[in-house]
Amino acid sequence: MAKIRQHDILPPSLPPLGINREQAAELVGISPSTFDRLVAAGLMPQPRQVTADRLVYDVSELAAAFRKIPHKGTDGVDAAPARSNPWDDA
């Protein structure tokens, strides 16, 4: 019988708040080693230490850090705030 992992128990409508290193790298679309370099450079957040041997990355912090990385060919971050709605201008 397969062991059920904690994140498999949550319904799809309730995503996890914290994820491990490999999941964090996958979330932003990069390899774990590239993710480690971005964390070391301060471009991705440090993990939270929930127990002596368990590190967890905050999903909302990862999303915020990812949005601060400039687009290719630009110098700055996204022009529109993350909470803007393009339909407001329609």
DSSP state of 72: T
The residue with greater pLDDT, 5 or 30, is: 30
Q: For residue 15, give the nearest of 64, 60, 50, 48 by alpha carbon.
A: 60
pLDDT over 70, % of the chain: 80
Distances (CA, A) of 9 to 2, 4, 59: 13, 7, 18
Give the model's pLDDT for residue 60: 97
Distance between CA atoms of residues 22 and 26, nearest Å: 6
Residues 39-51: pLDDT tens digits?
Answer: 999 999 999 999 9
How do the domains of the chain map onto residue ranges?
16-72
Q: Give mean pLDDT, residues 29-41.
A: 98
Give the model's pLDDT for residue 80: 54
Q: Give the global pTM.
A: 0.71
